[in-house]
Amino acid sequence: MRFASISRFAASYALSDHLFLQSESLMDNTVLETQHLSLAYDGKPIISGLNLLIPTGQITALVGPNGCGKSTLLRGLARLLKPHIGTVYLNGADIFRQSTTKVAQQLGILPQGPVAPEGLTVRDLVAQGRYPYQKSWLQSWTTEDERQVRKALTTTDLNELADRAVDTLSGGQKQRAWIAMTLAQDTQILLLDEPTTFLDLAHQVEVLELLWDLNQLEERTIVMVLHDLNQACRYAHQLIALRDGAVMAYGTPADVMTEEMVQEVFGLACRIVPDPVMGTPWCVPLRREPHKYSQD
State which residues form the domain around 127.
17-256
pLDDT for residue 295? 62
Where does the pLDDT of residue 17 fall: very low under 50, low under 70, confident under 90, or very high at 90 and above? very low
pLDDT value at residue 253: 97
Instruction: Give Cα separations from 193 to 145, 208, 260 (angstroms).
Output: 26, 13, 26
The CA–CA distances, whole Å, from 21 to 28, 60, 121 equal 14, 18, 47
Q: What is the CATH number of the domain that holds 71?
A: 3.40.50.300
The total of structural domains in the chain comes to 1
Mean pLDDT of all residues in 81-108: 94
Do the domain assignments include residue 273?
A: no
DSSP H/E element including 214: helix 201-218
Domain-embedded: residue 129: yes
In a domain, 164, yes or no: yes
Residue 4 is assigned to a structural domain of this protein? no
Q: What is the pLDDT of residue 8?
A: 25
The arithmetic mean of pLDDT across residues 128-139, rounded, is: 81
Q: What is the rounded distance in angstroms from the CA atom of residue 13 to the CA atom of residue 285?
A: 28
* Domain-embedded: residue 158: yes
Residue 262 within any structural domain of the chain: no
- Mean pLDDT over all residues of the chain? 87
Using the predicted structure, report yes or no on whether residue 146 has a pLDDT greater than 90.
yes
Could you tell me the pLDDT band of residue 22, with boundaries at 50, 70 and 90? very low
pLDDT, residue 1, reads 30
